[in-house]
Amino acid sequence: MRKEGMVSLWVGKMPEQKRLEEYIEIPYLEDGESDEIMPSKFGKDFDINYYDEDFIECTFFDIETLDLQNLLSQNSYSEVISSRFIEINGDEVKHEVNVAILLYNFEYSGSVSEIKYMDYSLKYLGSTSYDEKTS
């Protein structure tokens, strides 16, 4: 659900950057009278009906890692959120990953915690504030 100042995090594996971009892309159906917004594959997998594409960041690495801080180092507010997600999950994730998806101004309910398919998998790691003044 939309919540100002919060960020939700998913980590996992994807075979390539292009696949990740297609996964989070929100398709629009143009029927001539209205532009209907359909959920992205990411939204469908995690039961999220809508999110603002302007508030999602994805990181893709060619090499898999266990290091959560390294995985988040290229994202907005990394100096704040890295330590907060490490407090929640520890320094390392349980399985090697090469993808991080961060959804800002959104606090996920956690209704679907993990998905696994043949060529990709993602796990929800939690939500935290990205504001330096709150924790």
Mean pLDDT split into 10-residue runs, the chain, 135 residues: 94 96 85 68 94 94 95 94 94 93 95 95 96 72
Cα–Cα dist 22/60, whole Å: 13
Closest by Cα among 125, 9, 1 to 59: 9
| pLDDT at residue 1 in the model | 87
Q: Give the pLDDT confidence score for residue 114 in this predicted structure.
A: 97
pTM of this structure: 0.91
Q: What is the pLDDT of residue 131?
A: 85
| Token pair belonging to 99 | 């993808």
Distance of CA 7 to the CA centre of its chain: 9
The span from the CA of 68 to the CA of 77, in Å, is 14
Measured distance CA(78)–CA(69) in Å, rounded = 8
Closest CA to 124 of 18, 97, 67: 97
Q: Provide the pLDDT for residue 50.
A: 85
What pLDDT is recorded for position 55?
96
pLDDT at 31: 59
